[in-house]
Chains A and B, each alone.
Chain A
Amino acid sequence: MMQRFIGFVRKEFSHIVRDRRTAAILFGMPVLQLLLFGFAIKNEISEIRVGILDHSHDLVTQELTDKLLSSGTFVATATLSNEREAGEAFASGRVNEVVVFEPAFGDRLLRDGHAGLQLLTDGSDPNVSRIVAGYTTSVVREYLREKGLAASGIEAVPLMMFNPGLKSVYLFVPGLMAMILMLVSALMTSISITREKESGTMELLLVSSLRPVQIIIGKVVPYLVLAFVNVITVVALAFFVFGVPCRGSILLLFLESLLFILTALSLGLLISTITSSQQVAMMISLAGLLLPTVLLSGFIFPIASMPWPLQAISNLIPARWYLVIVRGVMLKGAGIAVLWKETLILVVMTALYLTFSVRKFSERLQ
């Protein structure tokens, strides 16, 4: 019995290693994706090109401008003399932001305690826009405090818990893990089973008296192992290259990942029982699993800001729950006492999919 199982698994590994594309996807993808997300796609902005439109030209506006430019983030790329020039500077891409001081800015500030300062940002890129405005506001606020000119007595000083630097890697790592596990477990298993259907070897496996459960386990175990290797790779890379910590129990993180791999594998199985061609299996996996994992799990777009139908759908997506778990364990140091609900949901989902696909796995040809 054990002999059969080992033989089956060995054969499956041979398939994986011999097909360069499969091997590349399995081993190269996780690393490549993480590096891509980690280095290339950043939300922090290191340089803001700013244009100054100063209608006042007094000591205060001069000090504020200096303060901005000396902070290191802002670079003055244009000195403007009217609103029309500001528009042109945006259109040509010379500036991300224009700071406009109203006439007699310094006088008003010193006399009335408030003055008009306008921030123009490039709304065609809302993300950058928001960050730029935030940075500028905080510099201005600091200047006012130094001068003892804070507008009101109470001031809120924000501190980002768990991710004080608001590093985007912290956001991407959990999402990436969900995505990679979906890809390796669900997509690869469904393709490898449908490939046997296409090539006719499934016919031989069926007449060989192997039980469906044996065929399924034989096909699934190699991908389970590989997916788990990927979890370790991603967590290690995240820690050593990007300094993403694991504040909670690493054992818990791995166990939860194993659970999620099982969920994804059972989804892959399910797909392969309802299709008979590799192409269709791939389409279903990509459109039906990977896309929702990226878009609706809270990986990129916050679930709270989705319209209610999408929020409802997101509940059906395993990655949504897995994301909560990974963020909880890695970033907040949460334990199972906090995450039992999400874990239970994944367990139930897996059990459902698995039962259904084993039932559906036909011992005959259709």
Chain B
Amino acid sequence: MSAVLITDGVSKRFGKVEALDGVGFSVDLAELFGVIGADGAGKSTLFRILATLLLPDAGRARVLGLDTVDSYRMIRTRIGYMPGRFSLYQDLTVEENLAFFATVYGTTIKENYELIRDMYVQLEPFRTRRAGQLSGGMKQKLALCCALVHRPELLLLDEPTTGVDAVSRLEFWQMLDRLRRLGITILVSTPYMDEASRCDRVAFMQEGRILAIDTPSGITGLFSKPLFAVRAAEKHHLVPVLRSYPHAASVYAFGSTVHYTDSRPSPDMGDVAAWLESNGIGGVGIERIKPGIEDTFMALMESMTSRREAADA
């Protein structure tokens, strides 16, 4: 497999803030690679460096076999980039935006129509509407169309689904899936953990560093402790009561249940149930579950935080 994108020790600092700290990873041809992390993790800085818009302070990045610093002009014609913020002309219509970006790349909508057809069909009814008046989901589809209109080999999508509802997100990811099958390599960032499972591989980012890189199923293997899902009739008090259990290691609400890990090598969950009931929590049910991507990310975050706190102390 040839790597479409390689970074090695990429660092960037803004004043006192270390936005990126030695980031190294590679993305293969036609891979859908997810960068998962919260606001401020350094995702946007990473994307801008890869889009040749920022220069790294240290380290190197190669995109499509070209150096991002020396050959930035060559790279620019061959990638599609969607910035983190909605960045189209709000006062131009859907059609005008698309036509403008097509002309800027010296092409036409017609030439690459089959690539964007699936999305453009949905946008068609709003062709003459100004982009500023579209809903969040539609805006993102239009932005993706604009990024695709010159048939790029690599797509850099910086948080395309932030603030977009669950249905539009689902459709957006289905679209990415189709593009990957057409041979387009995609690097996409998201704060939504559930979207990570749709990637071929994911990288967890936190405070400018990559915590882990693996396939979605592989990455959950990093979660080493036994994990339990606890449910109870009374949700509101379950978290604080469980957290006050003397052997509780981590207690996090997860949908309708609470995910729990114990600080003992072999947890006694019967004792946990008894403790909950003695504290007035009724209808307790506990089962051992497989950790998900979000569990893993949180565990990695916590261990990084505690390592750093230990180092500070």
Contact = CB atoms under 8 A, between A and B. Distances in A.
A and B touching (Cβ–Cβ under 8 A): yes
B133 to A, nearest CB: 12
B48 A365 contact: yes
A15 B54 contact: no
Given A203-B83, A204-B81, A207-B79, A18 B105 contact: no
B53 A14 contact: no
B105 A201 contact: no
A133 B62 CA distance: 81
Contact of B53 (A3, A18, A199, A206): A206
B89 interface: yes
Interface string A195-226: 00001110111111110000000000000000
Interface residues of B, number: 31
B76 A11 contact: no
A159 B72 CA distance: 68
A363 interface: yes
Contacts of B104: 4, 7-8, 205, 208, 210
Contacts of B92: 11, 14-15, 18
A84 interface: no
Contact of A207 (B52, B91, B103): B52
Nearest to A19: B91
A111 interface: no
Interface stretch (B93-101, B178-186, B250-258): B93-101
B143 to A, nearest CB: 9
Contacts of B96: 11, 14
A364 interface: yes
B224 interface: no
B103 A7 contact: yes
B57 to A, nearest CB: 13
B203 interface: no
B51 interface: yes
A197 B156 CA distance: 20
A209 B77 contact: yes
Contacts of A199: 87, 89-90
A4 to B, nearest CB: 5
A365 to B, nearest CB: 5
B103 A209 contact: no
B125 interface: no
A208 B76 contact: yes
Interface in B23-74: 48, 51-55, 72-73
B72 A363 contact: yes
Contact of B89 (A3, A201, A210): A201
A365 B52 CA distance: 9
Contacts of A206: 53, 76
Contacts of A7: 99-100, 103-104
B87 A200 contact: yes
Contacts of A207: 51-53, 76, 79, 81
B225 interface: no
Given A4-B104, A209-B73, A365-B48, A203 B55 contact: no
B265 interface: no
A209 to B, nearest CB: 4
26 contacts: A8-B100, A8-B103, A11-B92, A14-B91, A15-B92, A18-B92, A199-B89, A199-B90, A200-B85, A204-B83, A204-B87, A204-B88, A204-B101, A207-B51, A207-B53, A207-B79, A208-B76, A208-B101, A208-B104, A208-B105, A209-B76, A209-B105, A210-B104, A364-B52, A364-B55, A365-B54
Given A204-B83, A209-B73, 9 more contacts: A4-B103, A4-B106, A14-B96, A200-B85, A200-B87, A201-B88, A203-B51, A207-B76, A365-B54
Interface of A: 1, 3-4, 6-8, 11, 14-15, 18-19, 199-201, 203-210, 363-365
Interface of B: 48, 51-55, 72-73, 76-77, 79, 81, 83, 85-92, 96, 99-101, 103-106, 130, 146
